[in-house]
Amino acid sequence: RFERLVFRLHGQLLLGNVGSVIMEMVASWTIVLIVTGVLLWWPRHQRGLAGIVYPRLGTKGRTRWRDIHAVTGVWTSVFLVLFLVSGLPWSFVWGHTLQSVENTLGRLTSVKDWEIGAVPAAAVIAGHPLGQPQKLPAKENMDMPGMDMPAASTSFAEGDGISGLDTVVRTASTLSLPAPVIITSSGSLWTVRSDTQNRPLRESMTVTPDGHVVKQETFAEKGLMDRVIGYGVAAHEGQLFGKMNQAVNLLVAMGLLMMSSAATILWLKRKPEGSLGAPLALPTQTYGLGGIIILIILALFLPELGLSLVVLALANLIPIKTKP
């Protein structure tokens, strides 16, 4: 499906787990850019709100572009950090680290409602692993709007499987679950669950072949971490509070594009010809020490950031020979 293609492009650059690692590193360094950008924006001996809360568009040159970059950045930074953090559980390294923590501590999160890294489509249905699928016999007029009926994870006799599925579908149609609804089988029982993008509305029912609901699981019954991630993913995908959520996401994306464009123009204006124009080190070590502490804290929570910092530190020790 086209949506799955966009999903893999967005999270994996169509490169599988390698792309997931790249995107995770980009997200980690974007968080560093946001934190350091807020430190640079922080008002110091400045009067008034111009250039702090709103940009000074009436000025010319670097001041105007600086304000567009800094003010837009500080307004979008809170939402942008939430978007970046809410995407980390899907990434290859951070997601598996979270899963390892769950296996060690237990009862933190079930890690079942989202995919981690590149998951083969044949082995997963919307983040729920299945066994080797057994294809049910085809039958006319079985499809119902908003319901997907993937291959069952166990086999049935042809008559029992079809009649049981018919009964479960009729039961599912009365449950008023948010679409799309997915029906799977496990042993002698069936699972009917909502796979709506607005994750707090998801419910799952266990149904017997004769159509009786024997178990119900709601979003509110999930673990704390499950619910936190569920809310974050729903907001990330623009589904948590409807069209307003999508409008906010659009404004944040436009703000990110604007501040990135302004930063590029600023760099082109200030960089000396023939060099990258990296800023000089500050004469005081106060801000440098604070920056190092912040980086260490972030590196502990973002493994790829920590690894890339180690690589950069080692690379900085390599002497560079220049021609006499």
User: Between the ranges 98-112, 114-128, 223-237, where is the mean pLDDT highest?
Assistant: 223-237
Question: Of 52-66, 115-129, 238-252, 266-280, where does mean pLDDT reach its minimum?
Answer: 115-129
Alpha carbons 130 and 143: distance in angstroms, whole number: 21
Q: Could you write out the DSSP letters of every residue in 304-318?
A: HHHHHHHHHHHHHHS
Alpha carbons 70 and 320: distance in angstroms, whole number: 35
pLDDT over 80 (residue 101): no
Given a contact cutoff of 8 angstroms between Cβ atoms, the answer to whether 51 and 73 are in contact is: no
Return the bridge partners of 109, or none: none
Alpha-helical regions (H) of 185-319: 224-236, 242-270, 286-301, 303-317
Share of the chain residues as helix, strand and coil, in percent rounded to the nearest 5: 55, 10, 35
pLDDT at 124: 52
Strand, coil or helix: 123: helix
* CA nearest to 187, candidates 149, 154, 160: 154
Phi, psi of 155 (to 5 degrees): -100, 150
Given a contact cutoff of 8 angstroms between Cβ atoms, the answer to whether 12 and 19 are in contact is: yes
Rg (CA), the chain: 25
Token representation of residue 322: 């220049």
Question: Of 20-24, 108-112, 198-202, 244-248, where does mean pLDDT reach its minimum?
Answer: 108-112
CB atoms inside a 10 Å sphere around CB 170? 11
Read off the pLDDT of each residue in 144-155 and give the average, rounded to a whole number: 47
Strands (DSSP E) found in the chain: 124-125, 128-129, 147-148, 181-186, 189-194, 203-207, 213-218
Q: Give the model confidence (pLDDT) of 213-256 as tens digits.
A: 999 999 998 888 888 889 999 999 999 998 999 999 999 999 99
* CA nearest to 134, candidates 92, 94, 184, 203: 184
Question: Of 152-156, 234-238, 251-255, 262-266, where does mean pLDDT reach its minimum?
Answer: 152-156
Alpha carbons 23 and 90: distance in angstroms, whole number: 11
Which residues, in sequence order, are CB contacts of 270 under 8 Å at separation 6+? 62, 277
Q: Give the model confidence (pLDDT) of 42-79 as tens digits.
A: 888 777 888 888 888 888 888 899 999 999 999 999 89
Share of the chain above pLDDT 70, in %: 79
Which residues, in sequence order, are CB contacts of 137 under 8 Å at separation 6+? 158, 161, 162
